[in-house]
Amino acid sequence: MLKKVVDFFKAPIFPEDEEKTRRAHALNALQLNMGSAVLVLGTMGVLFIFAEKLVTSTILVVGFLITLIGIFMNRRGQVQASGIFMLGFLWVMTVVMATISGGIRSLDIIFFVSGTAIAGIVLGARGALFYAGWSLLTGLGFIMVGNAGFEFPQLLPFHPSRHGSFFLLILFSQ
């Protein structure tokens, strides 16, 4: 049983394609870091930091499940699809978190930078450029909506004392 669990978390090897193996190893490391950060730091955040427990718990559970699905896809040889799946979730999570915590002024916007770095590692330069461009357009959308008079809710406000734990979550999820 323990061997199956350990094997599930090992990076896959594709002897016929060295580049695919390299990307699968990088993606596996990123997924394990993201899953661990969500599980450990996210749980600590829900227990001790964030006031809105239901929303943050839901986001963390979904994030952990998405990470497990991505690991499974990566192991099956769907490396690029797994990377796109992970980046898609990261983008959606960033948009949702920014929307419920103040829009463009939210600290959650920094996850766009993390996503761009991950896109570069997993999908190469073109993937990073696409993700960065898409993130910039999304940020521009937040600015335009805010300038049009929409007031973004503050369900997950960040107080100065909570910034450190947030940045630890970002650091360890990369």
Q: Per-residue pLDDT tens for 152-174? A: 888 766 655 555 555 565 555 55
pLDDT at 143: 94
Backbone φ and ψ of 139, nearest 5°: -60, -40
Please enumerate, as own/partner, the contacts of 120-129 that have beta carbons within 8 Å and a separation of 24 or more.
Answer: 121/26, 121/27, 121/30, 122/23, 122/26, 122/27, 122/30, 122/79, 122/80, 122/83, 122/86, 122/87, 123/80, 123/83, 123/84, 123/87, 127/83, 127/87
Look up the pTM and report it.
0.80
* Model confidence pLDDT, tens digit, residues 49-75: 666 777 778 888 888 899 999 999 999
- List pLDDT tens digits, range 87-122: 999 899 899 888 988 888 888 888 898 899 889 988
